[in-house]
Chains A and B, each alone.
Chain A
Amino acid sequence: MIPFILRRLIQAFFILVLVTFISFIIMNMAPGNALQTFIDPRIPPSELAKAEASLGLDQPLPVQYLRWLKAVTEGNLGYSIKSGGGVLELILSRLGPTLILMGSAFILMFILALIIGIVSAAKPYSLTDYIATFTAFAGISIPGFFFALTLIYIFAVQLGWLPTSGLRTYQENLTGWSAFIDRVRHLVLPVTVLAFTGVAELVRHIRSAVTESLAQDYIRTAKGKGVSPLKVLTAHALRNSWLPIITLIGVALPRFFSGSVIVEVIFAWPGMGRLLVDSVFARDFPVAMGINLFAAILVLLGSLLADTLYAVADPRIRYE
C-alpha cells in the first residue's frame, strides 16, 4: 500500500509541475503583460522598458517561469487587473459557495446513481431498466443551461415553488431553522442540474459492477440460504461493487467544476465558476488563470485522495 501511494505521490508531483508550466504558457499567450495593463498609457516606451527590466520582464521566459513559480509556491497568484486585489484572496472568498454547491450535488448524484444503477441491474432488460438507462443518458445529453432554464421555467416561473438566484433571501433577516430552510430552497435547483451531469457515468459503473457480482457463486449461496432479494442486492452484491466507484470521485471532480460554471452563472451563485466568467469578460487574465491553476490543484488533490482511499480499502492493491 505504502509503495503504491508513494509512487502515486511522485506522479502527482510531476503532473503538478506540468500544470504550473501549462498555466504559465497560457498566461503568456494572453495579450499584454502585467505592467502594460497596470500602467498609464501616456508613459513613454523607454520608461516602460526600464520598468520592465526592473521587474524582470525582459528576462528569458524560463527565468520568468521560475520566478513566477517561486511566487506561486509562496501563495502569491498575482493581482487582479480589475480590482487590484490578490488573486488568491479573491478565489478563496468564492470557494465556500462552490464547495457547498459541489458537495451537495455530489451527494445527490451518488444517491440518484445508486437508485438508478441498482434498479437497472436488478431487472436487466426490463421496462424499469430502460427507463433508468434513458434517464441516465438524458442526464449527460442535456445541456446544463437548457436543463437549468427548463427547471426555472417549471418550478420558479410556473409553479412559484423555488427561488432562482443567489445563496439566500437577502431582503429578509432570517435566523435559525428558517434561515437553513431558505438556504436549502436556494440550493435545490442548482444542485439538481449539477448532479445530473455526472449520474450517467456512475450508473454505468454501478450497473455493470452489480451485474457482474450478481453472477458470482456467493450470491447464489446467499439466495439459497433464503436471504431476501433486497438484502442480496444491497448487502452482498453492492458491497463488493462500491470500491472501484471510489476512484470515480477523482474523475467526477473536473466535470463538476466545468458544470459549476454554467450553473453558477444562471443561478447567480457567487462561486468560483461565476468569478471565472466575470473575469474572462473583464479580460482579467491573472484572475482567470489563477482560477484555472487553483481548480487544477484541487482536482489533483481529489484524485490523489481517491486513489489513496482505494489503496487503503482494497487489500489487493498492497501486493501490486
Chain B
Amino acid sequence: MTTAVIKPEAKARNRSLKQFLNHRAAVASAGVLILLIFTAVFAPWLAPYDPYDLAMTDTGMLEFEAPPSRTFLLGTDAIGRDVLSRLIFGGRISLTIGLVSASISILVGSILGVLAGYLGHWTDLVLSRFADAVSTFPALFLILTVSSFVRPSIFNVMAVIGLLSWMPTFRLMRAEVLRLKQVDFIEGAQALGANNFRIMLLHLMPNAIAPIIVQATLGVAEAILTESALSFLGLGVQQPIASWGNMLADARNMTVLQSQPWLWLPPGLAIFVTVLAINFMGDGLRDAINPRKG
C-alpha cells in the first residue's frame, strides 16, 4: 500500500530532476552558487587579510587606495583594508541577509496564505485585501521609510525586508490551497476527523511546496538586491562590517568612480553574478516543477 503511494511521486521527482539537469544555464548557475556559498562559509580561511583591519605587506608597509597588485589582488581601500578580503566577508553578509529575509517572507506568506485559502470567508477577504494594500506601496519606499526609524543593524535589515515582502508567497500559497481543497485527500482527512491545524500543517503546506520553492529562490535574489540598495544608500549594513552593497557606496564619490574602479567593480559584479545565478536557477526549477511545460 505504502509503496504504491510513493512510487509515482518518486517517478515525478526523477523526471523533475532530469528536467532540471537538462536546463544547462540552471545547472551552471547552481555550480556558481555552490562555489559562492563555499567561499562565504570558509571566508576566514580564504580571505588573505583581516577585512576590518589595515592590511600590511610582507615588508610591513601599509598601502592606501593601492591598485590591484600581487600582494593585494583587488587593491586596498581608502583606509588601507584589503578589498578582496572585504569582498569575501561581504559575501557572507549579503548571502546571509538574502537567505534569512527570504525565509522570513516565505514563512509569513505561507502561514497567512494557508489560513486565507483554507479558512476562506472573512479571513480570506481581510488577508487578501491586506496583502493587496501592502503591495500597493512601492516596496523600496516602505522599506526605506521603516529602516529610517529602526536602528540600522543586520538583524533589523533582515526583519524589515522579510516582513515587507511576503505578499507574492501569500498569493501563491492561497491559490495552491484553493486548488488542493478540491482534491479528495483533504476531504478524506476531514472525514477522518483531522482538525484544521493538522490539515493545514501536514496536508496542505507540504503539497504546495513546489511553487513555493521557486518563489523562495526568486525571493532570495530580490532580498539580496534590496539589501544592496539599502546598504548602498547608507541605511542597511553599516561600516565597518562589509556588505557588497555598502562597498559600492564609495563609488558615489566621483574620484573613486573615475580612477579607482577596483573599489566598486568587484562588489557590483559579485551582486550581479549571484543574483543572475539565482534567477537562472529559479527559472530552471520552475521549468522542472511545472508539469505543463515539457
B136, A299: Cβ atoms closer than 8 Å:
yes
Chain B residues engaging chain A, CB cutoff 8 angstroms: 129-130, 132-142, 144-149, 221, 225, 228-229, 232-235, 245, 248, 251-252, 257-258, 261, 264, 268, 271-272, 275-276, 279-280, 283
How far does the alpha carbon of A150 sit from the alpha carbon of B261 in the complex, in Å?
10
* Contact A31-B136, Cβ < 8 Å, known A157-B258, A257-B141: no
Selected from A142, A257, A265, the residue in CB contact (under 8 A) with B138 is A257
> Smallest Cβ distance from B138 to chain A, in angstroms?
3
B268, A150: Cβ atoms closer than 8 Å:
yes
How far does the alpha carbon of A22 sit from the alpha carbon of B279 in the complex, in Å?
31
B142, A292: Cβ atoms closer than 8 Å:
yes
The residues of B that contact A255 with a CB separation of less than 8 Å are 138-139
B149, A31: Cβ atoms closer than 8 Å:
yes
B130, A146: Cβ atoms closer than 8 Å:
no
**Which candidate, A34-42, A86-94, A112-120, A274-282, is the interface stretch facing chain B?**
A274-282
B137, A143: Cβ atoms closer than 8 Å:
no
Q: A146-B248, A157-B258, A292-B137 are in contact. List 18 more A-B contacts (CB 8 A).
A: A18-B130, A22-B134, A26-B142, A137-B279, A141-B221, A141-B279, A144-B229, A149-B251, A150-B268, A254-B138, A255-B138, A256-B138, A265-B233, A266-B252, A276-B144, A280-B144, A288-B144, A289-B145
The residues of B that contact A310 with a CB separation of less than 8 Å are none
* Contact A146-B272, Cβ < 8 Å, known A153-B261, A285-B149: yes
Binary CB contact string for chain A from 286 to 320 against chain B (1 if under 8 A, 0 otherwise): 00110110011001100000000000000000000
Interchain Cβ contacts within 8 Å, total number:
138
The residues of A that contact B145 with a CB separation of less than 8 Å are 26, 276, 280, 285, 288-289, 292
How far does the alpha carbon of A151 sit from the alpha carbon of B235 in the complex, in Å?
24
Give the interface SS of chain A, mostly helix, strand, loop or mixed.
helix
> Smallest Cβ distance from B45 to chain A, in angstroms?
28
Chain A residues engaging chain B, CB cutoff 8 angstroms: 11, 14-15, 18-19, 21-22, 26, 29-31, 137-138, 140-146, 149-150, 152-153, 157, 254-259, 261-262, 265-266, 276-277, 280-281, 283, 285, 288-289, 291-292, 295-296, 299-300
B139, A149: Cβ atoms closer than 8 Å:
no
Give the interface SS of chain B, mostly helix, strand, loop or mixed.
helix
* Contact A288-B148, Cβ < 8 Å, known A145-B229, A254-B139: yes
* Contact A296-B137, Cβ < 8 Å, known A149-B257, A265-B233: yes
B136, A276: Cβ atoms closer than 8 Å:
no
How far does the alpha carbon of A112 sit from the alpha carbon of B262 in the complex, in Å?
31
A153, B130: Cβ atoms closer than 8 Å:
no
The residues of B that contact A157 with a CB separation of less than 8 Å are 257-258
> Smallest Cβ distance from B206 to chain A, in angstroms?
28
The residues of B that contact A18 with a CB separation of less than 8 Å are 129-130, 132-133
> Smallest Cβ distance from B214 to chain A, in angstroms?
14
A11, B252: Cβ atoms closer than 8 Å:
no
A280, B257: Cβ atoms closer than 8 Å:
no
The residues of A that contact B283 with a CB separation of less than 8 Å are 137
**Minimal Cβ-Cβ distance residue in A for B283:** A137
The residues of B that contact A280 with a CB separation of less than 8 Å are 144-145, 147-148, 235
Most chain B beta carbons < 10 A, residue from A146, A150, A281: A146
The residues of B that contact A262 with a CB separation of less than 8 Å are 140, 229, 232-233
A143, B229: Cβ atoms closer than 8 Å:
yes
> Smallest Cβ distance from A316 to chain B, in angstroms?
21
Selected from A29, A254, A261, the residue in CB contact (under 8 A) with B137 is A254
> Smallest Cβ distance from A128 to chain B, in angstroms?
16
* Contact A258-B276, Cβ < 8 Å, known A144-B229, A150-B268, A285-B149: no
Most chain A beta carbons < 10 A, residue from B252, B272, B280: B272
**Minimal Cβ-Cβ distance residue in A for B252:** A266
Selected from A153, A259, A261, the residue in CB contact (under 8 A) with B257 is A153
How far does the alpha carbon of A276 sit from the alpha carbon of B148 in the complex, in Å?
11
How far does the alpha carbon of A248 sit from the alpha carbon of B101 in the complex, in Å?
26
A258, B251: Cβ atoms closer than 8 Å:
no
A15, B136: Cβ atoms closer than 8 Å:
yes
The residues of B that contact A292 with a CB separation of less than 8 Å are 137-138, 141-142, 145
**Minimal Cβ-Cβ distance residue in A for B245:** A143
> Smallest Cβ distance from A77 to chain B, in angstroms?
14
B251, A300: Cβ atoms closer than 8 Å:
no
* Contact A258-B140, Cβ < 8 Å, known A143-B225, A288-B148: yes
Ordered by A's residue number, 30 sampled pairs between the chains whose C-beta atoms are within 8 Å are A11-B129, A15-B129, A18-B132, A19-B136, A22-B133, A22-B134, A31-B149, A137-B276, A137-B280, A138-B272, A140-B275, A142-B272, A143-B248, A143-B268, A143-B275, A146-B271, A149-B248, A150-B268, A255-B138, A255-B139, A258-B139, A261-B233, A262-B140, A262-B232, A280-B148, A289-B145, A292-B137, A295-B141, A296-B133, A296-B137
